[in-house]
Structure 1
Amino acid sequence: MDLQISVFLLFLLFTAGHSLQCYECDSQTNSCADQKATTCPAGSSWCRSSTAATLVGGITTKAMSKGCDSDCQSLSLNYGSMRTTYSCCNTGLCNRQDPPDPVPNGKKCYTCDEKNCSKPLSCSGDEDRCITLSDNVEGLIMLVKGCVSKNLCETMASVKNGQSISCCEGNLCNGAQIAT
């Protein structure tokens, strides 16, 4: 009986010691100076870091988030006035460092402003596709263009929600056109 209890306690210690730990924070300042290590819940096997930057009226707003995730994919999306990146790793406390600023990769895609969709946009990091997304919202056609990573493009194309989504690989392959 003592052997069974000893084996059970050893099992508990072994499984408790192998829970994934990740840094966690939510910040509106693009810095996670107040990040704290946390033990991930059961089923979480990834540490995630995400950043979002939005440009409105010449002012850039940045936000950052870190934490545990059960299903994580590293990806990047850039619409010119908005950029979002997710980085994933799967070893203990691997999301300590803030993600680096994106480095241009030489790829170019078109993006839209309030007048047209003929402004070239420099892609960065793993953004290796151009995307065109259009949606009919109460009779108005909403058109968005930019750079995207391959895995995000594949995910978006499989979950369309009534939107028209297309991705292409060549420079400026998502075509310039007038916004409506």
Structure 2
Amino acid sequence: MDLQISVFLLFILFTAGHSLSCYECMGLTGSCADQKLKTCPAGSSQCLSLTTVTQGPISVKVKVKDCAVDCQSGSMNFGVSKVSTSCCNTDQCNVQDAPDPPNTPNGRICYQCDGQNCSNTVSCSGTEDRCIKTTGTFGGKSLVAKGCVSKSICDATSFIPNVKGVSCCEGNLCNGAQSVTQSVLFLCCSLLSYFLMH
């Protein structure tokens, strides 16, 4: 009996002291070639790989890897920017880059904001099976972002700093059309920073 208790206590001692290790990098040129291994801080339970593609006059692809507190695999599409995340929970499991955000339309259509106009539409792709509407305040200005999102990501976005409202819905164009006063890029940056910092 004493041997069983000793083995159990040793097991707890070794497993409680284990910290997750993940790869870390920020590739601003579309590649995460210079990744380093990192011991995650307390509270981090997952490894994250993220790919963001911003479209417009200048297209930019950013690859990010890091530790995460709460991470969900899936994708978001705000028209001007698309994000794909891959999450895992074992040591060094984020060695592979997150795939590029999907481009093959899946039949779902949602509203998206372009400057002051939120009556534009975007075709959802891959696992993006929900429409999303987010509102937030930055520098005293109210911002709105709309687009497509995977259900898994939508379920995990309720605690993003500076974003007061995140609502997801099913059905084409269910996220409503209305005008806004500021650019959607500020709000997208907040959503992106949430995934980078958590």
Deviation at 1:65, TM superposition (A): 1.4
Question: Aligned partners of 2:164, 2:88: CA distance in 1, in Å?
Answer: 31
1:102-145 Cα shifts (integer Å, max 9, x gaps) = 22333221112135323221223332211223457789654321
* TM-score (structure 1 length as normaliser): 0.72
Instruction: State the distance in 1 between where 2:93 and 2:79 align.
Output: 29
Richer in strand (by share): 1
1:37: which partner in 2? 37
Deviation at residue 98 of structure 1 after TM alignment: 1.0
Residues of 2 paired with 1:138 and 1:132: CA distance? Answer: 20
SS at match of 2:99: coil
| Structure with bigger gyration radius | 1
| Within-5 A mapping of 1:12-161 | 19-56=19-56, 58-103=57-102, 104=104, 105-114=106-115, 116-134=117-135, 142-157=143-158
Aligned-residue Cα RMSD (Å) equals 3.5
Listed as ranges, the gaps of 5+ residues in structure 2 are 1-6, 182-198
Q: Please tell me whether the aligned partners of residues 136 and 162 of structure 2 are also in contact (alpha carbons under 8 angstroms).
A: no
Q: How many pairs were matched up?
A: 171
Q: Matched residue of 2:72: which SS? A: coil
Could you tell me which runs of 5 or more consecutive residues in structure 1 were left unpaired when the two chains were aligned: 1-6
For residues 102 and 162 of structure 1, what CA distance do their matches in structure 2 show? Answer: 23
Moved more, 91-100 or 15-24: 15-24
Give identity over the alignment, percent: 56
**How far, CA to CA, are the matches of 1:145 and 1:156 in structure 2?**
14
Give how far 1:146 is off: 0.6
Query: TM-score when scaled to structure 2?
Result: 0.66
Q: Distance in 2 between matches of 1:145 and 1:59?
A: 21
Displacement of 1:162 in angstroms is 7.3
Helix, strand or coil at the partner of 1:59: coil
